[in-house]
Structure 1
């Protein structure tokens, strides 16, 4: 999940904008190998290997793999802060042309935006490393400078490549006309609130289909993996390394299955087993989220003088429950004119989920401030919002960051089918209340995928080994530790770095744990996985 708002499967918690990742060889493959490679790119079979730019001779895909990239400035205009920051860091940008439909490569094309921070230690250059920050729907175009810093001494030996997956960020856009920043909401406390969710989620799906019927069948993880292989070819790389967070670990796993022999060093951080990925992507993670919330409550209780939520863990959790109950009786009004927001019992749990994916003091303080405001609103008292909280609410409740939500839904719904009958969701919600009263109505809720057209392809199954380095925290409330263990079991050659004692989603270069960062960097430098699984411990503080 790890997108930039703490929603879905995704980060970049380090600079959340709202909710949660080359040895340039131009070698020529024989026509037989090239044609087989092209077929594998279209079919997703991935049985052939390729070298450099050559693949797909005579198949229609060769022009994509062999395209010459026009590297230039990342700046899109005078107010493009991100572009100016990338330019100052020495990053260049380009657009990669890919087919909308890989089974019809002569048809419509789209573009995928990529960025590159070139290796400076050219004598010891290892290759290119491709980044994905999760989401789905998260951008990584701006990530190379941050990852270069995290990689320390090994960073200058890589071309670091950020990319915005198809229909994300600066790639060819998707516009469903949504006016909300997330579709991941709770069912609420009543049947009436659930019925409103059914109507709301169906409306989202209908609106997206009405304006994008020709695009939606081609928005999927498998097609993003195909785009990644075109990027590899356009960069002139025989193999490409990869760093993926959260949903990006699923994308990376799919790439290893579709294109064996074309990946080099692969780091999967906050890893997700393929069977755990789908339309209700937080289902099964209720215990981890409850534990993270409980730990936060203990933290807040020690700071009752600041937040006024309770002197003990139990009192703080009681305050949280009372806030949700109050929002069910009527929307909570927060803020002052001209910026006033209203949150009901379908939205407050989503806000909570977004606040507990990081157990650092800064994120915990942000959630403390949010709950303090909501508690005052529940008591009918006036409230004032910090700029950070106001921005988070704009992102969640308005169309300010709607593109991420639209693409996230399109990818998930395009990957796996969802149950269609609303009654099935309601039964699951009702069963969940006994054990998971706060988060069960969110993790089991209906979403737009219930009303989406069925995916064009079957989900990817792991049937090939891949020597990846998996990174996981024992208390990760997004992609759970048990899910990371399951992926580790599916990839016998993989090795696992476990961080004990952290309720944190996404670790490498994000959390500041020297043990985790050092082990990942050692692998990126040497290409050698540890001899056995490794354990790190959360630092005190």
Structure 2
């Protein structure tokens, strides 16, 4: 057994001929290591670091290597135009017991992973003890080659229920924007696909001199992981994917299943509110709470209220968005909804003012790009196999309004990829290599069903997390310890502790809501 393992790892393989080694060295891509970007304290504060954590960031960043790797823009034309991928490496602290390289991706699509090795290491994660952590900006993002195009000009958020006339105007604008974007630089934008990012990662693996690479991905990063594993099944060591994306990119299915999961989690929140009727007053049963909040949403659709002291207009859609928040925000959501009952303005109730009264500070110079909207749209639309017609989206939206009377209004009423002019590109999924899929029973951004569907498509071991918080496996110490244990030993678990549902109605010191105030 030991001999077989050593042979598998190549530790007892016969020495390669000198000519073979020379050939391999000549073919191996080279990383251009260079000085890392300089970040001021203002930039790091803007990114969420307080003064107490600045020294730790700077110490880790001082250990970080930064570089770029040249890759083909189009892998079907490897000798054609080249682009660059920006990456970072935080070498394992324990080099004597180093296990290899571990690439990390935070999701998106369009999210930057350039600083993710540092961000992970500043948490409870001990992944950097025995792994070199590899962060990178996917093509189209951050310090990697990218472009920007006009898009997303869908008009102001409606002040009341969306009419078919308004929906058609939005649809026409989306078509116009998507066509302009896709045609602005089709040679580059058409190559913003998950498969190409996976190929870029494999080039990084080769440039690092690794025979295999491990991978940790969240959200869209899980789709990237399944594609990487499918294209390079013998080049992946260990892989953990948290909050798993749907295995077939169809934006209409994406919207529909998310809407179902959002309402399902809202039903849990309605029960939580009913159990605290003495505080919130919406009823003592889940049905009573649902009925009361349905009427509250309708009231704000019929008559939106503007609070002049914080530049905020509350509509029925905002009620729907509040009702779709995960459990850490339930005390704030319930208090906001309570304060909105009978609110007429012009000044905002206290909790609403606390949550929406402060605008983000101006962005200082030198802030690294954390998300690229052009890449986000391109990655989705270059792979979207779903329906994109106005009628299909509008009819589905109307059905969701009836099916989900509180949360349905917060769902999309137009197909985001309508009019996209570039061809759909697909990837055939297959199994290969060690894989763990952690799915969250109650979350809505990546419904638990997608974890099971992905296992059916590519195999792997499912870890069930009993919470509704997207990507929490990397934030809950008890679960994070199991992630680290898996990467170090290969051992897997059946369950992982999640974020507990609040038991208190007291409001936290920091806002837990992720809602964006409508403008």
Q: Normalising to structure 2: TM-score of the pair?
A: 0.77
Q: Deviations over 1:67-118 (max 9, x none)?
A: 2331432325675325977433233332333222222233333332222222
Separation of aligned partners in 1, 2:126 and 2:220: 27
> Paired residue for 1:470?
437
- After TM superposition, the structure 1 stretch with the greater mean CA deviation from structure 2, 502-511 or 271-280, is 271-280
> Paired residue for 1:111?
84
1:497 aligns with 2:470: no
Q: Helix, strand or coil for the counterpart of 2:298?
A: helix
Separation of aligned partners in 2, 1:535 and 1:106: 46
Alpha-carbon distance, 1:266 to partner: 0.3
Residue segments in structure 2 that go unaligned for 5+ positions in a row: 1-9, 364-368, 504-519
Q: Helix, strand or coil for the counterpart of 2:256?
A: coil
Separation of aligned partners in 1, 2:430 and 2:480: 30
Q: Deviations over 1:427-454 (max 9, x none)?
A: 2223333322344455463233021124
Match of 1:450 among 395, 398, 418: 418
In the superposition, relative to structure 1, how do residues 154 and 162 fare at CA in structure 2: closer, same or farther (>3 Å)?
A: closer
| Contact 2:101–2:133 under 8 Å retained in 1 | yes
Q: Deviations over 1:439-494 (max 9, x none)?
A: 4455463233021124352x2222334420111121121211121112122333x2
> Paired residue for 2:150?
177
Superposed CA RMSD:
4.2
| Contact 1:188–1:194 under 8 Å retained in 2 | no
Separation of aligned partners in 2, 1:162 and 1:463: 25
Moved over 6 A (4+): 27-32, 179-187, 302-306, 392-395
1:92-107 alignment, distance < 5 Å: 92-107=65-80
Q: Helix, strand or coil for the counterpart of 1:218?
A: coil
Q: Helix, strand or coil for the counterpart of 2:485?
A: helix
Separation of aligned partners in 2, 1:283 and 1:535: 27
> Paired residue for 2:301?
328
Match of 1:243 among 201, 205, 216: 216
Separation of aligned partners in 2, 1:75 and 1:53: 38
1:268 aligns with 2:241: yes
In the superposition, relative to structure 1, how do residues 282 and 430 fare at CA in structure 2: closer, same or farther (>3 Å)?
A: closer
Alpha-carbon distance, 1:200 to partner: 3.9
- After TM superposition, the structure 1 stretch with the greater mean CA deviation from structure 2, 263-272 or 187-196, is 187-196
Larger Rg belongs to: 2
Separation of aligned partners in 1, 2:157 and 2:229: 29
Alpha-carbon distance, 1:255 to partner: 0.4
Alpha-carbon distance, 1:123 to partner: 0.6
Match of 2:330 among 353, 358, 364: 364
Separation of aligned partners in 2, 1:153 and 1:103: 39
Q: Normalising to structure 1: TM-score of the pair?
A: 0.74
> Paired residue for 2:377?
409
| Contact 2:151–2:174 under 8 Å retained in 1 | no
Residue segments in structure 1 that go unaligned for 5+ positions in a row: 1-22, 35-50, 396-400
1:421 aligns with 2:421: no
For this pair of structures, how many residues does the alignment match? 472
> Paired residue for 1:461?
428
| Contact 1:175–1:406 under 8 Å retained in 2 | yes
In the superposition, relative to structure 1, how do residues 283 and 66 fare at CA in structure 2: closer, same or farther (>3 Å)?
A: same
Separation of aligned partners in 2, 1:220 and 1:107: 18
> Paired residue for 1:310?
282
1:187-336 alignment, distance < 5 Å: 188-209=161-182, 211-275=184-248, 278=251, 280-300=253-273, 310=282, 312=284, 313=286, 316-318=289-291, 320-329=293-302, 332-334=305-307, 336=309
